[in-house]
Amino acid sequence: MGFQVAQYHKLNSPILSGNPLIECLPIRLSQEAFWDAVVDLVEVPEQLDSFDVETRELLASEIMKSVCPTSEYFDIYCDLLNTLKEGFISRNPLDPNTEKWKNNIATKTYQRTRTTAPNIKFTGISGMGKTTVVDSILALIPPVLIHPHDGPLGVETTHINYIKVNIPGEADSKSICLAIASKIDAVYGTDYETQYGSLKRSVCIDKIITLCTTLLIGMIIFDEIHNICFSSPNERALIFTLFDRFSHEARIPTIKIGTFKANRLSNKVFTNARRLGMPVDWANFSAESEDWKMLVEYAWSYQLTNEYQELTQELVQRVYEYTCGVPHCLFFLIEQANKYCLRNGIHKFSKEVLATVFNLKFSIMKPAILALKHGKIDAFDDLMTTNSDLDVETTKLIKKLLKIADENKFTGQESKAIIEQIEPYMMEYSFTKKELATFKRLEKQVASVPTNLPKEDDGYEDLPI
pLDDT, one tens digit per residue, over 1-25 is 579 999 999 998 889 999 999 999 9
Radius of gyration (Cα) for the chain, nearest Å?
Answer: 25
Percent share of the chain, pLDDT over 70: 86
- pLDDT band at residue 259, thresholds of 50, 70 and 90? confident
Sheet holding 119-124, edge to edge: 163-166, 220-223, 254-258, 119-124, 278-282
| The pLDDT value given to residue 428 | 58
How high is the pLDDT of residue 447? 60
pLDDT at 114: 66
Averaged over 357-366, what is the pLDDT?
Answer: 83
Cβ-based neighbour number of residue 350 at 10 Å: 15
C-beta of residue 88 within 8 angstroms of C-beta of residue 47: no
What length does the chain have? Answer: 465
Helix boundaries (H) for 5-48: 20-23, 31-38
| Rounded mean pLDDT, 319-329 | 93
Is the pLDDT confidence value at 465 over 50?
no
Bigger pLDDT: 438 vs 85: 85
What's residue 373's pLDDT? 77
Confidence band, pLDDT 50/70/90 cuts, at residue 434: confident
pLDDT tens digits, residue range 198-220? Answer: 999 999 999 999 999 999 999 99
Label residue 464 by pLDDT band (50, 70, 90).
very low
Asked which of 46-50, 322-326, 460-464 is least confident by mean pLDDT, the reply is 460-464
19 within 8 A of 88, measured Cβ to Cβ: yes
Mean pLDDT score of the chain: 85
Quick one: pLDDT band at residue 197, thresholds 50, 70, 90? very high
Q: What is the pLDDT at residue 142?
A: 96
Q: Give the pLDDT of residue 385.
A: 60
Cα(185)–Cα(181) distance, integer angstroms: 6
Half-sphere exposure of 1 (CA within 13 A, CB side): 11
The pTM assigned to this predicted structure is 0.78
Give 355's contacts (C-beta < 8 A, 6+ positions apart): 318, 462, 463, 464
- Phi, psi (rounded to 5 degrees) for 145: -130, 145
pLDDT at 357: 94
For residues 184 and 144, give the distance between their C-alpha atoms in angstroms, rounded to a whole number.
10
Give 27's contacts (C-beta < 8 A, 6+ positions apart): 9
Region of 93 please: left (phi>0), alpha (psi -120 to 50) or beta.
Answer: alpha
271 pLDDT more than 60: no
Cα–Cα dist 75/12, whole Å: 22
Q: Which position has the higher pLDDT, 154 or 368?
A: 154
pLDDT band at 381 (very low <50, low <70, confident <90, very high): low
- What is the C-alpha separation between 266 and 246, in angstroms, rounded? 18
pLDDT digits (tens, 9 = 90+) for 120-141: 888 888 888 888 999 999 999 9
Q: What is the mean pLDDT of residues 396-412?
A: 78
* Section 456-461 average pLDDT: 46
